[in-house]
Amino acid sequence: MAYVIQSRPLVAGCAEGEVLLSDKPLSFWGGYDSLTGEIIDRRHPLSGEFAAGKILALPFSRGSSTTTAVLLESMRGGTAPAAILTIGVDTFYALASIVAEELFNETIPILSLSPADFERLKNGDTAKISQSGEITISTQAEKEPAAR
Amino acid sequence: MDQSTTSKKVHLYLSDYDRELLAGERGPGAQMSMRIIVRMAEILGVERLIDIEAAHIDSSLYMGAATLEFAEKLVDLGAKVSVPSTLNVSGVDEHGWMHWAVPPDWAENAKRQMRAYQEMGCIPTWTCAPYQTEFKPKFGQQIAWGESNAIVFANSIIGARTERYPDLLDICAAITARVPAAGLHLEENRAGQVLLRLKEVPDRVQRHESFYPVLGHLMGKISGEKNPVVVGMEVEPEWDQLKALGAAAASSGTVGLFHLVGITPEAPTLEDAFQGNEPEQEIDVTMDHLREAWRELSTASGRELDLVVLGCPHFSLAEFERLALLLDGQEKHKDVEFLVNSNRTMRALADEEGYLRSLEAFGGVVTVDTCPLATPMLSPDIDEVMTNSAKYSYYAPGMLDERVVFGTLEDCVLSAVEGRVVRDESLWHT
């Protein structure tokens, strides 16, 4: 099954990947290893998951003001998520992408979703993001048809 | 900085000064900074920018090639700060790193980044506790501060007004002296949202130093990104206790402002704290909640001990004094390291007062400019750590792969002497 939602692009761009989702906010400082892309906040439900290249969906960033710097480092090192989806406007993630554009002419899409659209997301969904902020979500059932 | 997802079409009004900067009339560094500020203002959907009078820069923290590149690019483009701008911790103890496990290339890069921010005209305070310096802001002042514990302190305890500035944006604000008129800069966003009612939390608990970091940890978890208000505080906390409270809340949550009714400047009454609004959520905080939060701050078995870490946020002169009294001519166990994080000014003052001599006699050391969360100074052999900081307890397990026991300052000293974790837990077991 697939469906389409419209998000608000804070930083627009195209991306496609597996959704890595949590309803708990994450501070990248102390929570994200920019060398490997691993989520290392041992109190976070996604602890131990690798977010590099995935569509990371979190309600908002938490705590430290160094989150932006860690995300910028991971973008430079190629270990950043392919895109980040949040509820509402999270400036910490958006800023990293804006500065990356100034510094090395690269961005990752940062998109703001309504709470209802965010709640429909599931871990393992595939998301395809367009420049306009339209997101096509394919649920796992369709992606991996059960072996019959 | 949370606003509705629905994108309202709001026109951002730019002043002549803003336009001059954007056009590059004040140099390419100011132009790039203003470009970033304007994009952030557009994302937030605000109508205007406002002036700030001071900044605290967390971007000075070296995180790798990209943060260094950003700093040096601004310097190359001729950027200078246009308001008094203090510096947060850096990525290295500039003159003391060689005594620790810091790799020389890391030290070299971190020092380059320190130089870059000084070249932009920032004040080399190198501390995460700028509210302990002569540069602390005043009530009502509009400022742009980075560093979560500093932000929450400036807003809540001093009543200055800063949004939660992420790294990289704080320096752009300092260069342009302009920020989006949003978030905690605006009166209406400073109202309390979540009410925490202390229920039967006895005075002796409220007087206990661990109460503050524990309450902060709980407050951050409950309120997330909302402004919490605490009612039922029976005692007047000291600045260092409020520092511990805020640092904890800004670690477990995204708290940028809290009110303590009858204590903090914007909350003489409950009604003032909420600006006459109803709380969105009300929670009774009992001893059970506090006990649970206290437990969560420890992740270690509590048998072994490799290191004691104090000064997260940076140790104040008052804390050096208290520590010196507790040390009382004792010596630490040979297998335990004893580390105090502070800044150069506090270290100099502590030295003048003779507190450093007591610490040295005990076998403890001070590191300045930075801390173990910001610089790779600790050997990987260090596994079991004790601290009186909820912030350190929160971050060290993930960042440094350490197991942590949370205790009081006295517990920390006693444990360092014994060479194993010793805690007075009586407060929490009644």
Q: Are A60 and A86 in contact (CB under 8 A)?
A: yes
The answer to whether the Cβ–Cβ distance between A91 and B3 falls below 8 Å is no
Q: Which of B247, B237, B262 is nearest to B213 (CA)?
A: B247
> Of all residues in chain A, what percent carry a pLDDT higher than 90?
79
pLDDT (tens digit per residue) in B301-344: 777 899 999 999 999 999 999 999 999 899 999 999 999 999 99
CA distance B428 to B160: 35
Residue contact A41–B151, C-beta within 8 A:
no
Residue in this structure with the two tokens 């995460």, named with its chain if needed: B128
Q: What is the mean pLDDT of residues B267-279?
A: 98
Q: What is the ipTM of this complex?
A: 0.91
| Phi, psi dihedral angles at A84 (to 5 degrees) | -125, 130
The three state secondary structure string of B63-75 is: CCHHHHHHHHHHH
Among residues B25, B40, B176, which one has the least CA distance to residue A101? B40
Do the Cβ atoms of B394 and A95 come within 8 Å? Answer: no
Q: What angle do CA B213, B217, B218 make, to 5 degrees?
A: 120
**Contact in structure between B55 and B174 (CB atoms under 8 Å):** yes
DSSP string, B233-292: --S---HHHHHHHHHHHHHHS--S--EETTTSTT-SSHHHHTTTPPPSEEEEE-HHHHHH
- Confirm if B201 and B232 have CB atoms less than 8 A apart: yes
Pairing of strands B403-406, B384-387: parallel
Residue A88 confidence class, pLDDT cut points 50, 70, 90: confident
For residue A62, the distance in angstroms to the closest alpha carbon of chain B comes to 5
- Token readout for A34 is 């920019």
pLDDT beyond 70 at B2:
no
H-state helical runs in chain A: 67-77, 91-104, 115-120, 140-143
Domains of chain B in start order, with CATH, are: 16-188 (3.30.499.10), 191-296 (no CATH), 307-428 (3.30.499.10)
Query: Rounded to whole angstroms, how far apart are CA atoms A81 and A49?
Result: 12
CB contact under 8 A, A92 and B67: no
CB contact under 8 A, B168 and A77: no
DSSP string, B141-169: -BEEE-SHHHHHHIIIII--B---PPTTH
| pLDDT classification of A42: cutoffs 50, 70, 90 | confident
What part of B 301-360 touches A (C-beta under 8 Å)?
none
The alpha carbon of residue A94 and the mean position of all alpha carbons in its chain are separated, in whole angstroms, by 11
User: Nearest chain B Cα to A97, which residue?
Assistant: B36
Predicted pLDDT at A147: 46
Q: Spell out the long-range contacts of A21-26 with Cβ–Cβ below 8 A and sequence spacing 24 or more.
A: A21/A57, A21/A58, A21/A121, A21/A122, A21/A123, A21/A125, A22/A46, A22/A57, A22/A58, A23/A59, A24/A58, A24/A59, A25/A58, A25/A59, A25/A60, A25/A61, A25/A62, A25/B224, A25/B225, A25/B254, A26/A58, A26/A61, A26/A62
- Residue A10 pairs with which residues in a beta bridge? none
pLDDT tens, B378-405?
999 999 999 999 999 999 988 888 999 9
Percent of chain B with pLDDT over 90: 93
Average pLDDT estimate for A13-41: 94
User: Is residue B428 within 8 angstroms of chain A, CB to CB?
Assistant: no
Q: Please report the number of interchain residue pairs, chain A to chain B, with beta-carbon separation below 8 angstroms.
A: 141
CA dihedral B250, B251, B252, B256 (to 10 degrees): 10
Residue with tokens 């197991």: B403
Neighbours of B266 (CB within 10 A): 18
Q: Which of B40, B63, B254 sits opposite A69 (nearest CB)?
A: B63
pLDDT of amino acid B8:
54
Phi-psi region of B419 (alpha: psi -120 to 50; beta: other; left: phi over 0): left
| Strand partners of residue A33 | A38
Indicate yes or no: pTM above 0.80. Answer: yes
In this prediction, residues B2-14 reach a mean pLDDT of 66
Q: Is the pLDDT of residue A148 over 60?
A: no
Q: Is B387 helix (H, G, I), strand (E, B) or coil?
A: strand
Helices then strands, counting H and E runs in chain A, come out as 4, 10
Closest C-alpha to B255, from B207, B193, B173, B181:
B193
Q: Can you tell me the distance from the alpha carbon of B30 to that of B168, in angstroms, rounded to the nearest whole number?
A: 13
Nearest chain A Cα distance for residue B373, angstroms? 8
Rounded Cα–Cα distance for residues B34 and B20 (Å): 10
Residue B373 in this model has a pLDDT that exceeds 70:
yes
Q: Is A15 helix (H, G, I), strand (E, B) or coil?
A: strand
Contact of B252 with chain A, judged by CB distance below 8 Å, is answered with: yes
**Angle ∠(B2,B5,B7) on CA atoms, nearest 5:** 115
Please tell me if residue B44 touches chain A, with a CB cutoff of 8 Å. yes
CB contact under 8 A, B167 and A103: no
User: Reading across the β-sheet that carries B259-260, which strands appear in turn?
Assistant: B259-260, B228-231, B194-198, B281-285
Closest partner CB to B43 (pick from A34, A89, A102): A89
- Check CB contact under 8 Å for B5 and A103: no
Say yes or no to pLDDT of B430 above 90.
no
Residue of chain A with shortest Cα separation from B399:
A30
Which run of H or E residues covers position B35? helix B28-44
List the catalytic residue out of A22, A47, A64, A138. A64
Q: Cβ–Cβ of A34/B63 closer than 8 Å?
A: yes
Contacts of B3 in chain A (CB under 8 A): 88-89
Q: Beta partners for B195?
A: B229, B282
**What per-residue confidence (pLDDT) applies to A63?**
62
Q: Is B90:B374 a contact under the CB 8 Å cutoff?
A: yes
Quickly tell me which residue has 């994009």 as its tokens: B39
Residue B146 tokens read as 């980075």
The single-letter DSSP state of residue B202 is -
Q: Which residues touch B27 (CB under 8 Å, ≥6 apart)? A: B77, B78, B79
Angle at A100 between CA B109 and CA B15, to 5 degrees: 110
Is residue A64 part of the annotated active site? The answer reads yes
Q: Give residue B51's pLDDT band: very low, low, confident or very high (50, 70, 90).
A: very high
Looking at beta carbons, which residues of chain B come within 8 Å of A103?
A: 66, 69-70, 73
Prior bond of A25 cis (ω within 30°) = no
Could B40 and A75 be called an inter-chain contact, meaning their C-beta atoms sit closer than 8 Å?
no
Residue A144 has a pLDDT of 52
Q: Which residues of B touch A94 (CB under 8 A)?
A: 40, 43
Question: Chain A residue closest to B402 (CA)?
Answer: A42
Query: Which B positions 23-42 lie with beta carbon below 8 A of chain A?
Result: 32, 35-36, 39-40
